[in-house]
Structure 1
Amino acid sequence: MSEKAVLCSVSRVVKSQHIFPNDLNNHHTLFGGKIVADMDMTASLSAAKHSRKSCVTASIDHVDFIEPVTEEDFISYEAFVVVTGKSSMIIFVKVIAENLLTGIKRIAATSFLTFVALENGKPAPVPQVIAQTEEEKSLQKVALERKESKKTQVEHSKAIASILSKSLRSSN
Structure 2
Amino acid sequence: MTERKQKTCKESLVIKTSRVFPQDTNNHNTLFGGKLMTYIDDTASISASRHCRVGIVTASTDSVDFLKPIKNDHSVCLESYVASVGRTSMEIFVKVISENLMTGERYLAATSFLTFVAIGDDGKPVEVPEVVPESEEEQMIHSGAKARAAARKERLKASRSLANALKTDIPW
Alignment match, 2:63 = 62
Alignment match, 1:153 = 155
Residue 112 of structure 1 and its aligned partner are, at CA, apart by: 0.5
Deviations, residues 45-77 of structure 1 (Å, cap 9, x unaligned) = 000000011111000012100010011310111
Alignment match, 1:127 = 129
Alignment match, 1:8 = 9
> Whole-Å Cα distance in 1 between the matches of residues 97 and 162 of structure 2?
35
The equivalences for 1:67-86 within 5 A come to 67-86=68-87
> Whole-Å Cα distance in 2 between the matches of residues 160 and 149 of structure 1?
16
SS at match of 2:63: coil
> Whole-Å Cα distance in 1 between the matches of residues 125 and 4 of structure 2?
14
Alignment match, 1:168 = 168
Residue 143 of structure 1 and its aligned partner are, at CA, apart by: 2.6
SS at match of 2:4: coil
Q: Letter of the 1:106 partner, please give it.
A: Y
Q: Letter of the 1:9 partner, please give it.
A: K
> Whole-Å Cα distance in 2 between the matches of residues 163 and 113 of structure 1?
26
Structure that is richer in helix per residue: 1
Runs of 4+ with deviation above 6 angstroms: none
CA contact under 8 A between 1:112 and 1:143: conserved in structure 2?
no
The equivalences for 1:36-115 within 5 A come to 36-115=37-116
TM (normalized to structure 2)? Answer: 0.94
Q: Letter of the 2:168 partner, please give it.
A: L
Number of residues paired by the alignment? 170
Q: Letter of the 1:122 partner, please give it.
A: K
TM (normalized to structure 1)? Answer: 0.94
Identity %: 44
Residue 3 of structure 1 and its aligned partner are, at CA, apart by: 3.3
Residue 168 of structure 1 and its aligned partner are, at CA, apart by: 2.6
Deviations, residues 96-135 of structure 1 (Å, cap 9, x unaligned) = 1011000010011101100001112111110000001110
Residue 169 of structure 1 and its aligned partner are, at CA, apart by: 6.0
Residue 2 of structure 1 and its aligned partner are, at CA, apart by: 4.4
Q: Letter of the 2:124 partner, please give it.
A: K
Q: Letter of the 1:88 partner, please give it.
A: S
Q: Letter of the 1:153 partner, please give it.
A: R
SS at match of 2:142: helix
Aligned-residue Cα RMSD (Å) equals 1.6
CA 1:170–1:162 in structure 2 vs 1: closer, same or farther (change >3 Å)? farther
CA contact under 8 A between 1:58 and 1:115: conserved in structure 2?
yes
